[in-house]
Amino acid sequence: MRKYKRVLLKVINFISIFILCRFLFKKFYKNSKEADYSYLYNKNETDIKACIFILCQNKDQEKLIKTIHELEDTFPHNYPYILLNDVPFTETFKTAISSAVRTRAHFGLIDKKYWSFPKGITKKDVGKNLIPGQFVLFNDRISYRHMCRFESGFFYNHPMLKPFDYYWRVEPGVGFHCKLQEDPFKFMRDNNKIYGYVISLIELKSTVPHLWETVKEFMRKYPQYIANPNSLDFLSHDNGKTWNLCHFWSNFEIADMRFFRSEKYETFFKFLDEKGGIYYERWGDAPIHSIAASLFLEPDKIHFFKNIGYTHWPVTYCPDDPLITPHCQCPEIIDEARDTCNRNLFRLQKKLYGIQN
C-alpha cells in the first residue's frame, strides 16, 4: 500500500510541475513572443514613430478603400497602417487593403479578453443604469460597447501599436477634403502637442447619466493627476459642478499614445472600467478620452487641426480660412460641425497663452 501511495504522490507532483511549467510558458514566453512587433516601425521610412490606426471589420472593405484613397490624396505619406479586428481578417480583405495603400498594411487580431465583458458583468447587466424611457443610440449593440471599452483602455497597448508613439485614428467611410501642406505627426512632435482633434460636439445625455459624478469622484481621490492649468472650462461652465457634455469626437484623433500609457490615464481608465458604466450605461471612448485630455493635460497640449477637412457622417468640418480653403474640396454638408464647444477651449487658450492654440 505504501508503494502505491509513493507512486501516486510522484504522479501528483509530476502533474503539478507540468501544469506550473505550462502556465509559466504561456505567461512569459508566449506573451514576450507576441509582443515583439518592433519591426513594424522602419526608421528608414520616417523618423517619427507614427502609424495610421484602423479598427475595422471584413465587411468594411469597400468603404475603407475609398477612405484610404482620400487620405492619401490629401496626405501622401510613408507611415504604416495598423489594422485590427476582433475576428481574423480574410485573405481577400488583406489583399485588397494592401493593394490600396501606398505604404505597408499590417493586420492584427484583438485578444478576446479585450473584446468581451469585464469580470462581474454579463449581458443581462447591459443598460441597467440608464434612465428608463430615454432613447440611447446603439443601446442594443453589445459589440459597440466592446469597441468603446477597447478604444478607451486597450488599443494603445496592443502589441502591434507598442512600437509607435503617435497614431492617426481613421475609421472606414470617413472622408478627407483638404490637401495638407504639413505633416500632422511632425507638427505634433515639433510643437509638443499630445492630443489633436477636428470636431467637437455635445454628447447624448441619455448615454452618460452618471459619468460626470464618477469623474468628480476620481478627481477627489486622485487630485495629483489633475493638471494646472487644465481645460476644465472646456467641459464645464460652473467650475466642474456639472458637465456641459462637450467632448472631442474621437473617430478622428491624432495623438501621442504615451499619454494613454501613462500612470494617470491608466489609473483613470481602470477607475471608470471598474464602475462598469460602459455597459451599465453607454459611456463611449470619445467622452472618456476628452475628459482625460482636458483634465490631465495643460491646454496648450491640445490642438485643433483647422486645416483638415473631415466628414464622419452626418457631420462635416470644412475650413473657413482663406489660406486653407483653396486646398479643399468639401462635399455638400448635411450637418455642419459647430464651434459651440471649440469656443470654450479657444477662450481658455487665448486667456492663458494670448493666442488660440
pLDDT at 172 > cutoff 50: yes
- pLDDT of res. 308: 98
- pLDDT band for position 355 (cuts 50, 70, 90): confident
pLDDT, tens digit (0-9, with 9 covering 90-100), for 225-271: 999 999 999 999 999 999 999 999 999 999 999 999 999 999 999 99
Supply the pLDDT for residue 138: 76
217 part of the active site? no
Q: What is the CATH number of domain 39-353?
A: 3.90.550.10
Contacts 24+ apart (CB under 8 A), 312-319: 312/171, 312/173, 312/174, 312/199, 312/249, 312/251, 312/252, 313/173, 315/199, 315/201, 315/249, 316/175, 316/177, 317/198, 317/199, 318/177, 319/178
The type of residue at 307 is N
List the chain domain ranges.
39-353
Percentage with pLDDT > 70 across the chain: 90
**pLDDT, position 27:** 52
* Nearest-angstrom CA–CA distance, 273 and 44: 39
Give whole-number Cα distances, 98 to 80, 106, 107, 164, 232, in Å.
11, 8, 10, 20, 42
pTM: 0.89
pLDDT higher than threshold 70 for residue 331: yes
The catalytic position among 151, 203, 253, 281 is: 253
The mean pLDDT value for 301-320 works out to: 96
> What digits encode the pLDDT tens for the residues 128-156?
999 888 888 778 889 999 999 999 999 99
* Number of Cβ within a 10 Å radius of residue 254: 23
pLDDT score, position 5: 55
At 281-305, the pLDDT tens digits run 999 999 999 999 999 999 999 999 9
Please give the helix or strand (H or E) that residue 162 lies within, else none.
Answer: none
pLDDT-derived band at 32 (thresholds 50, 70, 90) equals very low
Q: Which pLDDT score is estimated for 29?
A: 47
pLDDT (tens digit per residue) in 47-77: 999 999 999 999 999 999 999 999 999 999 9
Predicted local confidence at residue 139, as pLDDT: 82
